[in-house]
């Protein structure tokens, strides 16, 4: 029983750690349109925990049953001994009446055992209901068609305020398909706010945002994340392999080339092998290494629109320039990048540099 309790304790800790690890990466899965993986990963951890829990319950039940069996055996032996002594005349015959009390104790024990069994079986439908509900609530990982962005993303008379303070005021912008745009300006002018509005993270704005003439407010997040991806300066990495952190648990046996290509574009040169394990939120990596893996995650499965919010801020100038060039030379990608330190040599490569502070 002591061993089973220790195993149960370890299983509980492992389950809690895995759930925390996955939920902390919610934004990563959300922006990659892979929320279905949230269910898969937690379900996998839950199955492992359930196996430990079942083993513990079985052990506990065996111990309880053994104690009950010994109790019954002892009570029966007392009844037999009482009868023998009564026959031999050592005790009065009336003492045999105590057998009824002993029998009652036996049947009570059996009744309790049966009741426990029924209660355990009664929980099965509850688990089935929860599983069905979660499966229904979460989106499918399967995209029926490739993401399409044909014309332009337009911002029309966009305004946004926080606590009565205007952050964005009657903004009008057009981002053409395949165009490269840099958003600059002093701190606090709303660069990241604008990007989060375009990405659907902020919705309480006035005005309109259109993607191919479709109002952003009428689009589901599943639709939006099929055509766009947000690359944040705040990186989250899962406690898993480098390969899984990059591909978000796709089958790498069918996409080794894509993985290597993503590493090459993001300048990930510190990985010894794809199966290398990353500690929770990349505790065993530097800020620059974490950011490069986040960029590799984007390059592994690029979307037509890339919202990049200081995506190279933790990189040295040379590496940041090389990675930015990878974004700029893709003719099919629409790049909308927020930058506090725009590389002067690359400034001319952008179709438009938008200064919100001007």
User: Mean pLDDT lowest for which of 46-50, 120-124, 166-170, 345-349?
Assistant: 120-124
Residue 322 CB partners (closer than 8 Å, separation 6+): 267
- pLDDT tier at 103, thresholds 50, 70, 90: low
* SS3 category, 309: strand
Within 10 angstroms of residue 41's Cβ, the number of other Cβ atoms is: 22
Q: Is the pLDDT of residue 88 over 60?
A: yes
Q: If you write DSSP's letter for every residue of 231-290 in order, what string do you get?
A: E-SS----SSBHHHHHHTS--GGG-HHHHHHHHHHHT----S-TTPBPPGGGTTS-HHHH
Average pLDDT over every residue of 275-280 = 87
Structure-model confidence comparison of residues 26 and 245, the more confident one: 245
| Residue closest to 270 by CA, chosen among 315, 329, 321, 328 | 315
- The CATH superfamily assigned to 178-192+214-355 is P-loop containing nucleotide triphosphate hydrolases (3.40.50.300)
Q: Is the pLDDT of residue 141 over 60?
A: no
Q: Is the pLDDT of residue 6 over 70?
A: no
> Pairing relation of β-strands 180-184 and 334-338?
parallel
Q: Is the pLDDT of residue 200 over 80?
A: yes
Q: How many Cα atoms within 13 Å fall on the side-chain side of residue 341?
A: 9
Q: Is the pLDDT of residue 272 over 70?
A: yes
* SS3 category, 82: helix
Average pLDDT over every residue of 277-287 = 86
- pLDDT tier at 54, thresholds 50, 70, 90: confident
**Tens-place pLDDT, residues 307-333:** 999 999 999 999 999 999 999 999 999
Q: Is the pLDDT of residue 121 over 70?
A: no
Structure-model confidence comparison of residues 182 and 220, the more confident one: 182
Q: What residue segments make up the domains of the chain, in order of their start? A: 2-137, 178-192+214-355
Read off the pTM.
Answer: 0.65
User: For residue 310, is it left (φ>0), alpha (ψ between -120 and 50) or beta?
Assistant: left
Q: Give me the phi and psi of 15, to 5 degrees please.
A: -65, -45
């Amino acid at each position: 029983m002591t061993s089973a309790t220790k195993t149960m304790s370890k299983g509980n800790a492992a389950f809690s750690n895995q759930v925390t690890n996955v939920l902390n990466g919610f934004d990563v899965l959300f922006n990659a349109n892979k929320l279905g993986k949230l269910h898969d990963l937690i379900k996998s951890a839950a199955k492992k925990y359930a196996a430990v829990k079942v083993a513990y319950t079985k052990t506990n039940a065996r111990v309880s049953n053994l104690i009950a069996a010994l109790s019954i055996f002892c009570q029966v032996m007392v009844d037999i001994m009482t009868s023998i002594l009564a026959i031999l005349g050592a005790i009065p015959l009336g003492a045999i009446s105590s057998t009824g009390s002993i029998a009652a104790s036996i049947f009570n024990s059996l009744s309790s055992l049966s009741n426990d069994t029924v209660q355990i079986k009664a929980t099965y439908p509850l688990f089935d209901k929860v599983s069905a509900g979660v499966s229904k609530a979460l989106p499918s990982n399967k995209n029926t068609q490739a993401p399409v962005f044909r014309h332009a993303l337009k911002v029309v008379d966009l305004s946004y305020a926080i606590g009565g303070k205007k952050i964005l005021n009657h903004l009008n912008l057009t981002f053409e398909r395949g165009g490269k745009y840099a958003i600059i300006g002093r701190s606090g002018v709303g660069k990241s706010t604008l990007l989060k509005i375009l990405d659907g993270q902020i919705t309480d704005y006035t005005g309109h945002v259109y993607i191919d003439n479709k109002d952003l407010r009428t689009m589901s997040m599943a639709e939006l994340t099929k055509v766009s991806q947000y690359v944040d300066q705040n990186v989250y990495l899962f406690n898993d392999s480098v390969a899984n952190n990059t591909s978000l648990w796709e089958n790498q046996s069918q996409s080794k080339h894509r993985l290597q290509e993503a590493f090459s574009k993001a300048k990930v040169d510190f990985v010894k092998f794809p199966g290398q394990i990353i500690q929770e939120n990349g505790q065993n990596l530097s800020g620059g290494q974490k950011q490069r893996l986040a960029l590799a995650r984007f390059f592994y499965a690029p979307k037509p629109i890339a919202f990049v919010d200081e995506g190279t801020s933790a990189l040295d100038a040379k590496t940041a320039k090389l990675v930015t060039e990878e974004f700029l030379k893709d003719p099919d990608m629409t790049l909308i990048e927020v930058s506090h330190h725009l590389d002067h040599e690359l400034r001319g490569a952008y179709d438009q540099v938008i200064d919100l502070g001007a």
